[in-house]
Amino acid sequence: MVYTALFPKWWFRVQLTHAPSEKQPQRGEKTFLEQLRDTCPTLADPKQAHYIPSWVMPHGDMQTIYLYTQHYKPAGCPVEFKREIFEFADGGKAAVDWALPLMDTRPDSPLIILIPGIAGCSFDFYSRSLITKISQQPYGYQVVVLHSRGVNGVELATPIAFHGGMTEDLREFVEHIASSRPHAPLVGLGFSLGANILTKYVGEEGDSCRFVAAASVCNPYDIDVTVNSMCLPSLKNRYLYAAALTRSLVQVFAENEQVIMAGNVKLNDKAILASRNINEFNEEYTAKIFGFSSAKHLNTSGSCVQYLKHIKTPMLFINALDDPMCYRHTIPFSEIEANPYLVLACTRYGGHLAYYEGTGLTPWLPRQLAQFIRGMLEWK
């Protein structure tokens, strides 16, 4: 338990990892880090950058569990969406939710593309709280949420669903947006597994990336290490985190079983439905359907850590060291420090996508990401 009043303020300082200033990209008179410090002071200014968890629930497990309960309570962050069904070149379909009201829709107005976590959606609390913040003044940005196939009420149109390193759908959607809005600055925001997908995509694109900036929140970085850690026989894995994630994957399969089993890949539906952890599910379904030799091959190929060195887009990473799902030992400090386009902001506390502060349990993340988006769009 963390009794916040008993610790000095420096204990809660946000720790930044980045390349030396002389190596960072520069626009005008400011480097990447200087722009962050000026426009995101509560995240990057050493004098102001602190995250003090709420004393009501300071621990990462408590915050993470509480966040999950808020997914079913839209009050306080009421957001409405206009749904579009996006069809990919292979015939697959995914839900695309445009936050309402539609803000500045001029051809050159910024557009924020949000990629949720595993089987996540636009109604998850971390999505709604962020959209509420950045769609209102003084920001007023248009937000669109790209879902994975087979989630949020859209049934699979092909046997292929998704995996943690699947960047093809994001690439196709971004190309569609870029062709319809060629002058619109695009900013990518990824959460949890969506952060891995976004980071891998930005690295794959390199100098050709369509995003002017991107942010990754609670990224697992190394999927194989993360999944193997989740498969360890602990009570939390068996009854909380790994169990919940496995259930969400099995549910996607169960809801689309008829379409999946009608495909050309031979699958054992009983084994898939009986999966006890993510590795078992990936071994029986995901690896086979995507043509990988094993779950390990799938996990290692899909991990974004190997693509960090190729990123040429200003990108912010935010991780909590007490995250019970994306572990401290997977954070690639040296790889991030080696790339001048990357800045990592680590907090001691915050859990997984939670980051509550104060007695009112106010989410801390939306303010940081809103400042980052505005700072990057103004950095010229």
Q: How far apart are CA 206 and CA 19, in angstroms?
A: 18
- The DSSP-derived string for 1-20 is ---GGGS-GGGGBPEEEE--
Largest Cα–Cα separation, the chain: 61
Tokens of 342: 């990357």
Half-sphere exposure of 265 (CA within 13 A, CB side): 18
Active-site hit among 192, 216, 229, 275:
192
Instruction: Compute the distance between CA of residue 110 and CA of residue 85 in angstroms, rounded to an integer.
Output: 22
pLDDT at residue 85, rounded to an integer: 97
Distance in angstroms (rounded) separating the CA atoms of residues 252 and 375:
38
Q: Which helix (H) or strand (E) holds 154?
A: none
- Owner of token pair 């990988």: 292
Would you state the pLDDT for residue 108?
A: 86
Residue 101 has what pLDDT? 79
310 included as an active-site residue = no
Of the chain, the end-to-end C-alpha distance in Å amounts to: 44
* Kind of pairing between the strands at 111-115 and 142-146: parallel
Q: Is 275 a catalytic residue?
A: no
What is the structure's pLDDT at 75? Answer: 57
Strand, helix or coil at 201?
helix
Distance, in Å, from the CA atom of 18 to the CA atom of 267, rounded to the nearest integer, reads 45
Beta strand residue intervals within 116-227, DSSP E: 142-146, 186-191, 211-217
Q: Where are the domains of the chain?
A: 4-222+303-378, 223-301
Q: What is the DSSP letter of 282?
A: I
Is 323 a catalytic site residue?
Answer: yes
Are the CB atoms for 109 and 184 separated by under 8 Å? Answer: yes
Contact assessment for residue 130 and residue 116, using Cβ atoms and an 8 Å cutoff: no
Q: Is the C-alpha dihedral spanning 18, 229, 192, 147 positive or negative?
A: positive
Scanning 262-332, the segments in alpha helix (DSSP H) are 269-273, 278-281, 287-289, 295-302
Q: Which fold has domain 4-222+303-378?
A: Rossmann fold (3.40.50)
Q: What is the pLDDT along the chain (380 residues), one digit of tens a residue?
A: 556 667 888 999 999 999 999 999 999 999 999 999 999 999 999 999 999 999 888 889 999 999 988 876 665 677 899 999 999 999 999 999 999 877 666 778 999 999 999 888 998 999 999 999 998 888 999 999 999 999 988 999 999 999 999 999 999 999 999 999 999 999 999 999 999 999 999 999 999 999 999 999 999 999 999 999 998 888 888 888 999 999 999 999 999 999 999 999 999 999 999 999 999 999 999 999 999 999 999 999 999 999 999 999 999 999 999 999 999 999 999 999 999 999 999 999 999 999 999 988 999 999 999 999 999 999 98
Assign 187 to helix, strand or coil. strand
Q: Check 97, 169, 222, 323 and give the catalytic one.
A: 323
Spot the catalytic one: 50, 147, 163, 352.
352
